[in-house]
Amino acid sequence: MKLPSIYILLICLFTSFTRFIVETTAFNLTLPHQHPDPEAVAEDVKRRVNASLSRRHLLSIQEKDQCQTGNPIDDCWRCNSNWANNRQRLADCAIGFGQGSLGGRGGQIYVVTDSSDYDPANPKPGTLRYGVIQDQPLWIIFSSNMVIKLKHELIFNSYKTIDGRGANVHITGNGCITLQYVSHIIIHNIHVHHCKPSGNTNIAASPTHVGWRGRSDGDGISIFGAQKIWIDHCSLSYCTDGLIDAIMGSTGITISNNHFTHHDEVMLLGHDDKYALDTGMQVTIAFNHFGQGLVQRMPRCRRGYIHVVNNDFTAWEMYAIGGSANPTINSQGNRYTAPTDDNAKEVTKRVDTNEGDWAGWNWRTDGDIMVNGAFFVPSGGGLSAQYSKASSVEPKSAGLIQQLTLNAGVFGDPRDDSGSISTPGFSGGGTSSTTNTGVQGSGSSGGGGDYFGMIFGSGAPPPTSTSLIFLSLLIILILCTITNHVALESFPLLSL
């Protein structure tokens, strides 16, 4: 009986070990591109801001007016009057968790010359959709001002930059932008607005893969299981669901210099309170202007580490920052201007959670400016010790929010508008050009999968604890088979 007993013991030990691996994977996650020390990233952001402000302080008045704002992203490339000759320099300018997002750096320049979107399953060369699905890195620019009215959601492939500098570009219509199981995406200087749900159709996700898509939510920008994403200097408003949503294990994200207006649920970070992979979500929200007509979710966080730094919150109706499921929220050097409603002065909201449950959550305010009765409710017993490293660099920038966010949104847009968005050609449905500068892709077949009733295009989902459980059960089954075989050989009477 010794031999079967040894195998049974091994099975028990292996089961315990497997359970340990699954639990540590689920609750001490390591997502692709997740930073091991988020506090160091927060400290680096403040250091860069303070360095840019110090440089500006040393300049003459004329030099300050030319380019130096103290905003480290803009000062990185705008001071070069010949920036258009080296557009890909922009990829060096990201800060925070999205730093290192390559976008299409190193790839060819692809020029969008055709604003139409007639066939999402077979996009025409020269269109934006044709460019974003290619397999190779591309730096995508626009030949002229245009409104791109999407027929269905615009699905990206990895290593793409949309660079709207030098043109007035609007993306609107059905589905809008989908970043799903991709990495290294930069979206810069475009308008995204009036996005509506769509789907139940075939859409190309790569040059060689067309897949069936379920119905989308109508987000402006949907980030789903994606990493190394940088969204900068965009103007977003009037979408059916969120303006920017990041869910399902997305991480390594920077949302900077954007202008958000006229929307209810602005930004969602995290799929579900019980979705463990989002514990590894890390997002930097910096230099944004949260403007007219906003209600809530700036952002609303479920898990992960969210660094909210040097933003100007000039309007909300319910709350600015909300959360559940114990996210870490590090708020530094922001300006929060409360509405006139006495019942909406609080910046923070713990969603559907009792105080006894959220008292230990790490929510911290450091150097924030509270205006018109705004107040931030911090929490977390070990707060000061946990943030001591990040606090070693003081946020000198809080009093300069107007200056740091002066150019938030698409360059040349007003800081806030009168209640409507200028959308030249919005009702025209797009124009076309016979000039074709589209880049042909070499192509490789993408994978597909069905998750929560949605069919996805290229790319594979990140590994989850479910995969580990399946693998463990398979190994245990093999061990059991071996055990039974050995037992029968050693003790033939057992087979009678």
Give how many domains the chain has, as a whole number.
2
pLDDT tens sequence across 104-128: 999 999 999 999 999 999 999 999 9
In a domain, 71, yes or no: yes
- Is 190 found in the same domain as 80? yes
pLDDT at residue 395, rounded to an integer: 53
- Residue 8 inside a domain? The answer is yes
In a domain, 375, yes or no: yes
- The residue range of the domain holding 488 is 2-30+480-495
Please give the structure tokens belonging to residue 140: 């995508």
pTM flag (> 0.75)? yes
Separation of alpha carbons 41 and 226, rounded Å: 19
Q: Is the pLDDT of residue 1 over 90?
A: no
Residue 436 inside a domain? The answer is: no
What integer best gives the mean pLDDT of the chain? 81
23 and 100 part of one domain: no
Decide if 332 is inside a domain. yes
Q: Are residues 74 and 219 in the same domain?
A: yes
pLDDT of residue 62: 65
297 carries an active-site annotation? yes
**Each residue of 416-440: pLDDT tens digit?**
744 444 433 333 333 333 333 333 3
Claim to verify: residue 81 and residue 216 sit in the same structural domain = yes
Mean pLDDT of 442-449: 32
Are 154 and 7 members of one domain? no
Band of residue 55 on the pLDDT scale cut at 50, 70, 90: confident
State which of 386, 404, 422 marks the end of a domain: 404
pLDDT digits (tens, 9 = 90+) for 251-303: 999 999 999 999 999 999 999 999 999 999 999 999 999 999 999 999 999 99
Exactly one of 87, 105, 129, 297 is catalytic; which is it? 297
**Domain-located, residue 54:** yes
CATH number for the domain that contains residue 69: 2.160.20.10
Same domain, 275 and 306: yes
Residue 451 lies in a domain: no
**Within this chain, do residues 73 and 212 fall inside the same structural domain, yes or no?**
yes
Of 374, 404, 434, the one marking the end of a domain is 404
| pLDDT bracket for residue 23 (50, 70, 90) | very low
Question: Does 426 reside within a domain?
Answer: no
The closest of 431, 442, 371 to 144, measured between CA atoms, is 431
Q: In this predicted model, what pLDDT tens digit does every residue of 74-102 receive, in sequence order? A: 999 998 889 999 999 999 999 999 999 99
Q: Are 232 and 209 in contact (CB under 8 A)?
A: no
- Residue 23 and residue 64 share a domain: no
Do 75 and 9 have their domain in common? no
- Whether residues 400 and 486 share a domain: the answer is no
Q: Is 109 helix (H, G, I), strand (E, B) or coil?
A: strand
Closest to 300 measured CA to CA, from 360, 333, 349, 344 = 349
Pair (42, 131) in one structural domain:
yes
Same-domain status, 180 and 323: yes
Distances (CA, A) of 222 to 136, 243, 270: 22, 8, 12
Final residue of a structural domain among 369, 404, 439: 404
- DSSP conformation letters of 216-269: ----SEEEES-EEEEEES-EEE--SS-SEEEESS-EEEEEES-EEESEEE-EEE
| Mean local confidence (pLDDT), 142-163 | 98
When pLDDT is cut at 50, 70 and 90, the band that residue 4 belongs to is: low
